[in-house]
Structure 1
């Protein structure tokens, strides 16, 4: 008679832990958030939202793999993972180079006015690529799914976990895009642009090197 209430409490507790862990990981400063901040202040709100949508879609891909149990199979193909690590590490180093070059310039390399023709589809794909080229992302989702999955939780519970985390991701990334595309944020950005771009170069560079040199 008490098994159902106990299971319900267990499921709710696991969901809360998973959501909290995902929120902390998503809201903490990282390559995706810093890139959204930079795009929002230089290219405007539409471009920032497009990039954030790409990041969320990339996250959704890893989430579905983890939820369907295909992540273990993917990790079993060591050659594929090594190739993905190399590609992802090189892409992050390329982003580090671009940010570093921008930091060395005395004037912004791009502005909203000069990017009126900016392709939102291209910006969206940059967001997708940034998230897909980081194999570490799938490890985060494996942890979230494992944390939120009690015995006999079932498919509906797993769907709730993934949907809730993706909603959190949309809220967090969307908030970054909205906040840093305001006129005040753009003025602040212009005053610290070179420091921010330099910080991006360091973050992307360290992430790329860590990815290329990691053994897992």
Structure 2
């Protein structure tokens, strides 16, 4: 059975949300780089446990973001426009930070001295890292607003959240698998400037696109 035009548009919107969240989730930062370091120093199993904790922390902020965004969508179309602009500005700010790191060649070092010995505590450690960062909710709202419109239902909003949750778990698992391979972390450190430069470009493209979509009515 062929998809209707509306169904195709909804699938494209969900794909846009997923891609936007992937760009945000995969970019180098405290959570992803700590997971990468743990994968190299402690192995794939512990990194996967730690990554699951990180992803669960993302779920918490996703629920908060979706609840607030649902109210906004029901109240005003213009508030959605403002949200998209703010989300775009936030992405451009992340682009600036990545570009700054690329120019300076900064790299994040992780303190592993206080690492827990109990495997179950790695989950808690990852969960606490992401849940302690309220700015994550802004990233969620930026990603969700990419594919959401004023006429979208609550059910579609829930689908968007579920897509982002799946992307979050996939991204952290991807870091665990990739960085547990021999020599990958050393390669990353050597290519740190290039990685941050590419991330800056992706954030700029996504941010400008989001601001542009806010005024396309």
- The equivalent residue for 1:120 is 119
Deviations 1:81-102 (A, max 9, x none): xxxxxxxxxxxxxxxxxx47x6
**Residues of 2 paired with 1:134 and 1:50: CA distance?**
20
User: Taking structure 1 as the reference length, what is the TM-score of the superposition?
Assistant: 0.59
- The equivalent residue for 1:157 is 156
Q: Verify the 8 A CA contact 1:67 1:162 in the aligned structure 2.
A: yes
Structure 1 residue 145: Cα displacement: 2.4
Structure 1 residue 130: Cα displacement: 1.0
* Unpaired runs of at least 5, structure 1: 74-98, 103-107, 197-216
User: Taking structure 2 as the reference length, what is the TM-score of the superposition?
Assistant: 0.59
Instruction: Map residues 187-202 of structure 1 onto 2, 5 A cutoff.
Output: 188=186
* Unpaired runs of at least 5, structure 2: 73-108, 193-217
**Residues of 1 paired with 2:42 and 2:153: CA distance?**
43
**Residues of 1 paired with 2:132 and 2:71: CA distance?**
18
Q: Residue 56 in 1 paired to residue 55 in 2? A: yes
Instruction: Map residues 135-174 of structure 1 onto 2, 5 A cutoff.
Output: 135-174=134-173
**Cα-Cα RMSD:** 3.3
Structure 1 residue 168: Cα displacement: 1.3
Structure 1 residue 16: Cα displacement: 2.5
Structure 1 residue 118: Cα displacement: 1.9
- The equivalent residue for 2:82 is none
> How many correspondences in the alignment?
153
Q: Verify the 8 A CA contact 1:11 1:153 in the aligned structure 2.
A: no
**Residues of 1 paired with 2:70 and 2:122: CA distance?**
27
Larger Rg: 1
**Residues of 2 paired with 1:123 and 1:135: CA distance?**
21
